[in-house]
Structure 1
Amino acid sequence: MRYLLLLALSLPSFAGGLEQLNNFLEQTKGFTAEFQQTVTQKAGKQQQASGTMAILRPGRFDWLYTKPYEQRVVGDGKQLWIYDPDLNQVTNKQLDRALGDSPAALLAGSNNLDKTYTLADAGKRDGLEWVEATPKNRDTGFERVRIGFKDAQPIAMELADSFGQTTQIRFSKVVRNPKLDAERFHFTPPKGADVVSAD
C-alpha cells in the first residue's frame, strides 16, 4: 500500500492545459506525428488535408501535406519555406511570421511562449485539457489558437483566424523525442523552381 501511494505521488498530475503545455515544452525536444486537418470557411465550406510532421525544437519543423495535394512547409530556425511541387514554386519568409502558414510554428517555438502569446487554461473537452494562446502581435492573422493535451502530449489544435476561418488538426501516431537528423530541417529550393520572398 505504501509503495502504491508513493508511486501515485511520483506520477505527474496535470491540473489543466497550461500545465501540460509547460510540461511538453520542458520535456520535448523532438516530436513526430501524422495529422488530419479540416479547414472550415466562414460560409461553412470545408477542406480536408492530411500528412506527416516533425518538430525539432526550438524553431525547426517539417510539415508535409500528402493529401489532397502535396505541399511541404519547412522551418529551419530562421526562415520559413513553403514548397508547392505542382507549381514548382517556393515561398520564403521570416520564421517569426510563420504561424499563419504552419501550426507547427507554435509547437516548435521556444519555452518563452508567454512573450508572444497570452496563455490561459481553456477547460476540458473531448477528453482533452485545452490551453488557449492569443497572439500579442495581431499581424499573425490569427485571433487565437487552442491546443488539446492528454498526458502532456498535444493531440489536437484549433486555430481561428481574423477572417472567420477555423482550422482543426488531430494528431495520431505521436512519438516524442525520436532521433531526428537536423539536416531534415534544412531546405534547398529545387533546381528550376521559382523562389518568391514574402517579406
Structure 2
Amino acid sequence: MMSRIRRTGLAVAAIVAIALVSVSCTHQNEEANKKEDVKSVSQTLTEETAHQQIVSYLQKTADETGVGFSLTSDGNNHGSPLQPGGLMPCYDGNKEQGAHQVQAEYWVVGIPAGQLPRYKTLLQDTWTKWGWKLDPEATPTLAGVATPDNYSFILQDAGKGDGWLSVTAASPCFPFEGNGATTPLPSEIHRRTS
C-alpha cells in the first residue's frame, strides 16, 4: 500500500513539474514572440534621410522599369484615394515621443492599357533582381519586399483593372529626435531622360 502511495505521489510530483516547465516554456515563447514584434530602431536615421532613400529607390525603379509613381492615378479610381503617408509612429503605445518611420503611398502610373499584371511582375522581378527579399506569403494581388537596409515596399493590385496598382514604402524606425524633414516627398516620380 505504501509503495502505491509513494508511486502516486511521485506521479503527481512529475505531473506538477511537467506543468510548471510547460508554463515556463510558454511564457518564454510569449516573451520571444513579443521581442520579434518589436521593430528595431536605427539610431542614425532621420525623417529627412528616410525621405531621400525612399525617393531614391522609387526613382531607380522608375528609371529601370519605365513606370512612374504619383499621388494621382492615371486610371478611373478617384473614389479610392490612398491612405495619407508621412510620418507614422512605430508603436501604438508611444505615439507622441516614441520611434517613428516614414511611409509613402503612390499609384503606379504609366502602365500601358491592359498590362497591369505584366508590370506588377516586372516591378517584383526588378526588386528581387536587386537582392530585395520577397515576402514568402506574397499573393497574386499583394507582394512585399524588403531591402538590405530594412526599407519595405508593398505592391498591391486592387484587382479592378488599369490604374489600380499601388506601392507603399516604409522606412526603418528612427528615434523621435530624428523627426523634422525639410524636403517633402514628391507628388510624382518619373523615369529620368538621358
Q: Which has the higher strand share?
A: 1
Fold conserved between structures, TM > 0.5: no
Q: Say which structure, 1 or 2, has more relative contact order (CA 8 Å, 6+ apart).
A: 2
The structure having more radius of gyration, on CA atoms, is 2
* TM-score normalised by L of structure 1: 0.29
